[in-house]
Amino acid sequence: MRKLSFGKAINEALDQEMERDEKVFVLGEDVAKMGGDFGITRGLWKKYGDKRVKDTPLSEAAILGIANGAAMAGLRPVAEIMFADFITEGYDQLVNNSAKIHFMFNGTVTCPLVVRTANGAGFHAAYHHSQTPEAWFLNVPGLYIVAPSTPYEAKGLLIASIRDDNPVIFLEHKLLYEMEGEVPEEPYMVELGKARVRKEGKDATLIASQRMVYLALEAAEELSKEDIQVEVIDLRTLFPLDKDAIFDSVAKTGRVVLVNEAPKTGNYVNEISQTINEEMFEFLKAPIKRVTGLDAPTAFAPKLEEYYLPHKEDIIREVKEIVEY
């Protein structure tokens, strides 16, 4: 099958959806003529023009405000927030508006918008260009959070997100943009709310998303040499959570390590831990462990950033600990 980079797969999804549905439009900083700071919207402005590909001034509040208003009026905006860290400037529009519009209107209006944003550390860009923000949104009912890890899923999940009537925060890990993978040329959807078992195993379950999936797979590979068979689940959609996939695996392995690159305290994965605790306690053979970023801002210097981020070795250590528990 044809191979495409993660970034190009997203670009193709945008192009195909804009072609299919006149209501879909793209807005954000530098998305038109330049084609986006990461080049993800390249070519769209040339093809669809000023009307449907809008460069905005630096105002995340306005970008997300326009997206909300336009979505309420029946359009399907895809907003780009250049770096996920900047979302705080439009945070109010997402948590107090997008998330509540369907509810406020008593079900008579939907808010079908997608907010694409580049997240994640490892880019040597310090604390305002490196964060992973899903936990910031998890406590706000009304929002979907999607976080693909492969080019195939990036395209299929983005198309599904654009066609979904709920507001979706679509996280793109910036270290994955160049990754190549097989991507069908025709439009297709990957169902929202469904995780994927990336590797089967019986001794422990690793649950991860985005770039952390690869760390988990590498750790699993190494552990298999020591005859520890680890199952790796790629969440793909962070909310709504695919409980079935998680519970099936927990029932099989009874041991869980959760992996996420945001700081440990208040981390998104804590919710998964508590969900397993409440509903699958009798299957657990050991405490649920976490491998996360440290409770500190992401520092700039490569050595400092490396120290902050989770590593394969951390995962291996935690898995061994619970296997021996």
Partner 1 sequence: MNLSKETLKELYYNMVLIRHFEEVVDEYAKKGYIPGFVHLSTGQEACQAGVMKALKETDYKFPDHRSHGVCLLAGTPKERVLAEIFGKKTGISGGRGGSMHIIDIKCRNMGFNAIQGANLVTCLGTAFASQYNNTQDVTAVFFGDGTMGRGEVYEGMNIAAKWKLPILYVLVNNRYAISTRVEDVHSYPENLSDRAQGYCIPNEVIDGNDVIAVYEAASKAVKRAREGEGPTVLELLTYRWQGMFSGDPAAYRPKEEVEIWKEERCPIKRLREKLVQDKTFTTEELDKLNKESLEEIQGMLKYALESPEPEPEEAIKHVYVGREVQGR
Residues identified as active-site = 129
Tell me if the bond preceding 310 is cis, omega within 30° of 0.
Answer: no
Please report, as a single letter, which amino acid is at residue 262.
A
Q: Is residue 73 a contact point for partner 1 (CB under 8 A)?
A: yes
189 binds partner 1 (CB under 8 A): no
- Residue 217: CB partners within 8 Å, gap ≥ 6? 198, 199, 232
Residue 3 has phi, psi (to 5 degrees) of: -105, 145
Looking only at residues 233 through 272 of this chain, which bind partner 1 when binding is defined by CB under 8 A?
240
Does the footprint of partner 1 cover residue 65 (CB under 8 A)?
A: yes
Binder among 57, 186, 278, 303 for partner 1 (CB under 8 A): 57
Cα 221 from Cα 227, distance rounded (Å): 10
Cα angle 107, 113, 119 (rounded to 5 degrees) comes to 130
**Cα torsion through 110, 166, 28, 130, rounded to 10:** 150
- Compare residues 237 and 253 and give the one whose CB is closer to partner 1: 237
Is the Cβ of residue 227 or residue 278 nearer to partner 1 in the bound state? 278
Q: Which of 20, 21, 74, 279 binds partner 1 (CB under 8 A)?
A: 74
Residue 124 Cβ, how far from partner 1 at the closest point, in Å?
A: 30
Residue whose CB is less far from partner 1, 240 or 287 = 240
Q: Does 307 bind partner 1 (CB under 8 A)?
A: no
- Which residues, in sequence order, are CB contacts of 149 under 8 Å at separation 6+? 173, 176, 209, 210, 211, 213, 214, 234, 236
93 interacts with partner 1 by CB under 8 A: yes
Q: How far apart are CA 269 and CA 274, in angstroms?
A: 9
Sketch the per residue contact string, 95 through 114, with partner 1: x for CB under 8 A, - otherwise: -xx----xxxxxxxxx----
Question: How many residues belong to the chain?
Answer: 325
* CA–CA gap between residue 299 and residue 304 (Å, rounded): 6
**Binding window for partner 1 (CB under 8 A); candidates: 8-16, 88-96, 123-131, 313-321:** 88-96
Smallest distance from the beta carbon of 66 to partner 1, in angstroms? 4
Q: Which residues bind partner 1 (CB under 8 A)?
A: 25, 51, 56-57, 59, 61-62, 64-75, 77, 92-93, 96-97, 102-110, 141-142, 144, 164-166, 240
